[in-house]
Structure 1
Amino acid sequence: MTDHRTATVTRTTRETDIAVTVDLDGTGKSDIETGVGFFDHMLDSLSRHSFIDLTVKAKGDLHIDFHHTVEDTGIVIGQAIKKALGDFAGINRFGHAYIPMDETLSRASIDLCKRPYLIWKVDFLRDKIGEMDTELFKEFFHALAGNGGMCLHVENLYGENNHHIAESCFKATARALRMAVAPDPRLQGKPASTKGSL
């Protein structure tokens, strides 16, 4: 495959100014700047393990809190992935992964079907990881799924370390996404659907 599936999306509101570029056929290179350290770390992991090259430049009202920046970044990444996928034809469509991190195990399942839905079964034992509110992870994945046309299920099966719980969820989603966006030549450019379209 020579033509890379790429997209750039920008979104500016009174709360955030975000630019995202994705290359679905990349090698997992990332250039992330959101102003939220732990979130940058998670997005770098998402890029690395999905093999999606990801550039994120986000400026937000961090003096208020991190909510707008995290949620809006999820919106724009989702929009960029959806744009890069075009008509969603010729791809595996489904993906899944289990990711262990020491005492923690998480799984993610994805259907790239243009019908957004999020199931989030993840509980944290602390309110924050670093300076980031743990409740914002659900907001990110909800925005990602909703704007990326994904049916996304993310579950932490067990774990105690909050860093491990969060990171395993991002890595599981990355691996599931890597599987789902991969082209399958046997589809001959058609959607993976009995209906003939998504």
Structure 2
Amino acid sequence: MRTASVTRNTTETKIQLTLTIDGTGQQKFQTGVGFLDHMLELFCRHGRFDIELVCDGDVHVDAHHTTEDVAIALGRAFSEALGERRGIKRYGSFLLPMDESLVMTAIDISGRGMAVVNLDIPSEKIGSQFDTELVEEFFIAFARELGAAIHLHQIAGKNSHHIVEACFKGFGRSLGQATSIDEVAPDEIPSTKGTII
């Protein structure tokens, strides 16, 4: 079982997280930010990851610290659960339509953390707490902690909720592909360098 538990405590957030990569999409999120919980639930369901996460954050200020720190904890958990990355497919991509929106997501678990986020989200806020600029912050933090190149490119879309939902669903699918075991080479590290981390 590829699993990890992460505890992250700062003056801004306190996070407890358990992850099973080879799951069925079971999840429980309590971040104090309703829209973020909803997006993470979709991410789990479409990636078929089992995750329980509780975050006690300073949401009385705004959702920034909670969103970024949750992404850090998630990226760290995936990194720990994958170990030396032996046997993974490494790459994943998905083109996801969400009503009028269409977003392409792709990932390379390369050991090099970066995120390229090309989104044109019309509204500055979704719901009462979630600033849409936090979408990019989430994926930057996740990419850095996992050590992965993540790309999100919006092809179409006018509804802010639909655009962001397409990102999280598509990313779940892409990461599910990239972390799956390559049946052709289940014991190999997928790099000519012989290491990814």
Tell me the TM-score range normalised by the shorter chain: over 0.9
Q: Which whole-Å CA distance do the structure 2 matches of 1:23 and 1:135 have between them?
A: 29
Matched with 1:134 is 132
- The counterpart of 2:58, out of the listed 58, 61, 65, is 61
- The counterpart of 2:153, out of the listed 152, 155, 163, is 155
Matches within 5 A, 1:70-149: 70-131=67-128, 132-149=130-147
Q: Which whole-Å CA distance do the structure 1 matches of 2:14 and 2:195 have between them?
A: 34
Q: Which amino acid aligns with 1:169?
A: C
Unaligned runs of 5+ in 1: none
Q: Which whole-Å CA distance do the structure 2 matches of 1:152 and 1:178 have between them?
A: 13
Aligned-residue offset at 1:125: 0.5
Q: Which amino acid aligns with 2:137?
A: E
Decide whether aligned partners of structure 1 residues 188 and 62 sit closer, same or farther in structure 2, where only a CA change above 3 A counts. closer
Unaligned runs of 5+ in 2: none
- The counterpart of 1:178, out of the listed 176, 179, 184, is 176
Q: Is the 8 A contact 2:89 2:181 kept in 1?
A: yes
Aligned-residue offset at 1:158: 1.1
Q: Deviations over 1:122-181 (max 9, x none)?
A: 121111111211011111111111101111001111100111000000011110001000
Aligned-residue offset at 1:117: 0.9
Matched with 2:49 is 52
Matched residue count: 195
Matched with 2:5 is 8
Give the aligned CA root-mean-square deviation in angstroms: 0.8
Point out 4+ residue stretches in structure 1 off by more than 6 angstroms: none
Q: Which amino acid aligns with 1:24?
A: I
Q: Which amino acid aligns with 1:137?
A: V
Q: Which whole-Å CA distance do the structure 2 matches of 1:51 and 1:188 have between them?
A: 20
Identity value in percent: 44
